[in-house]
Structure 1
Amino acid sequence: MSRRRRVSDSSIIGRRRIADHNCQKGTIFPSFLFPLFRSLSNTTTSPTSPPPPPAVAVIPKQRCNLVPNHLQSALISFNRMLQMRPLPPISQFNKALGLITKMGHYAISLSLILNKLQQFQGIQVDLYTFNIAINCYCRLNQVHFGFSLLGSLFKRGFTPDGTTFNTLINGLILEDKTPEAVELFKKLITTRDIEPDVIMYGTIVNGLCRTGNTVRAVSLLRMMEEGSGKPDTVVYNTIIDSLCKDRMVDDAVKLFTEMNEKGIFPDVVTYTSLIHGLCNFGRWEEATEMLREMLDSGIALNVHTFNVLVDACNQGRDDEQGRGGT
């Protein structure tokens, strides 16, 4: 393939280059992202060098008499669309790519984008295609290449949306780069380029709680309450569970009460975290009351709740034996 050949919108994804200070005139790349790129460049693999190409997906030519396979069906559908003339709109390819990605076959999705779509000049990728590719890189723990695609996205004149940045933030957290994720989140709020939604807030809250920064997660919760992205049950659950694990059960119970007062309904995850936390402190009566309230609300126990109750019974029995001197 000649280097002088005009690069299509599809093949631009395959470039995987990061925009820098020497970008051509007209590039609208936010300056606040440069420090983040520099921090990511300290990784083992430089984000300016191309990643190992994903294995080319083997696409069956026809359906075989095997047990039905969702991945195989999606690949067959993708292959058939490539044979159509005129070619289907990119939304149809995105639908197939989305299904494959949801099944967890991230390398295959990347292979189809980089090694299949780019072969056809008639296919114009869109923001959704970029978002799928960025998500795949993030899920493969290659967030630096996700940021490379962000640079290409800006160069092609696309405007990233909340999904784009939420995917990158989640990718940073998956690679234990929570400080960088928080920094990116703060910059997005400061510049008002993106209005964070409950999903983005929830992603940051999860990252903070995973790294033991529960107090900061609570502060972020208060910020959410004052803004447009109101916290939901998932956000409350994340913080309540983290508070319990940090042995701050009283704070977790207070947040649970506040949650109810605001009309945000707890679920089995909420109750299980609180029951577990109360049992760890030997507060059996409160744990029993919490269990009763859960059942009265029509919330069924799951496997985790059952395991927590079994452990609590064993712990209570051991405590009784200890007090009895046996």
Structure 2
Amino acid sequence: MGKTNLILGLKSLKKGKFSFFLSYPEISTFQFHFRNFDKTHFLYKISANGFHSNSIISNSESSVASFECFINIFDKLINDRPLPPIATFTSILKSILKVRHYSAAIPLFKKLCLLHDQILPDLCALNMNIECYCRLNQVDLGFSLLGKIIKLGYEPDIVTFTNLIHGLCAIKNSVDAVKLFHRVIDLGLQLDLYTYGALIKCLFKTGRNADALKLLRMRRLMGCKPDIGIYHMIMYGFCKDNLLSQASELFSEMISDGVLPTVTTYNLLIWGHGKLGQ
């Protein structure tokens, strides 16, 4: 918690200094093709130091075998000299994260960081490392990497903050999640609808229905129409707390927004009235 507050207070994060586009050096020694990882198609070609191989994994082979193949390639490349560009490693790591092997990806990131005198992890790699920690509910370690990003001279981007907000929401730390959310908005960055939904859900789960409603209205003012699931979530919270007038007001707002009610919507309101004996 203390580390989180420390990072949130960093004054070096100034508005307007964040980049949204990262360019990587062109890769000539590594051709990587990846599609439908769980079922088919893994093809790689490495021409560094004379190593040259092609491998295709068939439909009948398990994703475990495919995953282990990625690990083996990573280990071969990290022992190569000269080392391939950093984008080569991030391509492999992205594929590992796609199948949600977060705990297995972290040691690979550590191996990469040990070679800091030969190759520096870029912002993309560091963001993926943060995602791994946040997915594993180790958010403090994710925030420590935010400090490393700044120390290396990179500018944290929307991906960095989105990962951290999702991590805080996953451990139901709505206080710091909201603080970071407002900090991101102050920096002029725009969060996606999925992140808004995760934060609203976190507020709801921690009993902060009024704050969830404020966030929903803020999202609407920014031109993002919430989906009906968000309305139902907050409406349920109000009905559960016997705040039927707020639930009815939210129902009216939903209609005004052009979101059509469903059977679930009416069932929630009927349940709320029934709790109050109406």
Common fold by TM > 0.5: yes
CA RMSD of aligned residues (A): 3.6
Q: Aligned pairs, how many?
A: 220
Identity of aligned residues (%): 28
Deviations 1:121-170 (A, max 9, x none): 55432111111111111111111111100101100011111111111111
Per-residue CA shift, 1:69-105, capped at 9, x if unaligned?
3243134134325535665433342233223223222
Note if contact 2:200-2:212 (Cα within 8 Å) is conserved in structure 1: yes
State the match for 2:126 in structure 1.
Answer: 130
**Which residue is 2:235 aligned to?**
243
Please state if 1:210 is matched with 2:205. yes
Equivalent-residue separation in structure 2 for 1:259 and 1:220 (angstroms)? 15
Which of 7, 11, 29 is equivalent to 1:31? Answer: 11
Alignment of 1:298-309 (within 5 A): none
SS at match of 2:262: helix
Task: Provide the C-alpha distance between the structure 2 equivalents of 1:144 and 1:197, rounded to a whole number of angstroms.
Answer: 23
Q: Which residue is 1:271 aligned to?
A: 262
Other structure's SS at 1:256 match: helix
**Structure 1 runs (4+) greater than 6 angstroms displaced:** 18-21, 62-66
What's the secondary structure of 2:100's corresponding residue? coil
Map of 1:259 onto structure 2: 257
Cα separation, partners in 2 of 1:88 and 1:180, compared to 1, 3 Å = same
Contact 2:219 2:225 in 1 (8 A): no
The DSSP-based 3-state class of the residue aligned with 1:205 is helix
- Structure 2 contact 74–89 (Cα < 8 Å) conserved: yes
Q: Among 126, 148, 160, which residue is 1:152 paired with?
A: 148
Structure 1 unmatched ranges of 5 or more:
1-17, 22-28, 34-61, 284-326
Q: 8 Å contact 2:165–2:199 — kept in the other structure? A: yes
Matched letter for residue 118 of structure 1: L
Change in CA separation of 1:118 and 1:200 when aligned onto 2, cut-off 3 Å:
same
Question: Is the contact made by 2:130 and 2:163 (CA closer than 8 Å) also made in structure 1?
Answer: yes
Gaps of 5+ in 2: 14-54
Match of 2:95 in 1: 99
**8 Å contact 2:196–2:219 — kept in the other structure?**
yes
The residue type equivalent to 2:66 in the other structure is: S
1:18-51 deviation line (CA, Å, top 9, x unaligned)? 7999xxxxxxx82399xxxxxxxxxxxxxxxxxx
Deviation per CA, 1:268-312: give whole Å up to 9, x if none: xx73642541453589xxxxxxxxxxxxxxxxxxxxxxxxxxxxx
Q: Any residues of structure 2 matched to 1:107-118 within 5 Å, and which? A: 107-115=103-111, 118=114
The residue type paired with residue 240 of structure 1 is: H
Larger Cα-atom Rg: 1
- Conserved in 1, the CA contact under 8 Å of 2:216 and 2:226? no
**2:72 is the counterpart of 1:74:** no
Scaled by the length of structure 1, the TM-score of the pair is 0.56
Q: Is the 8 A contact 2:130 2:160 kept in 1?
A: yes
Please give the alpha-carbon distance, in whole angstroms, between the structure 1 residues aligned to 2:218 and 2:144: 31
The letter for the 1-side match of 2:252 is K
> C-alpha offsets along residues 156-195 of structure 1, whole Å, 9 cap, x if unaligned?
01111111111111111211211111112223333x2634
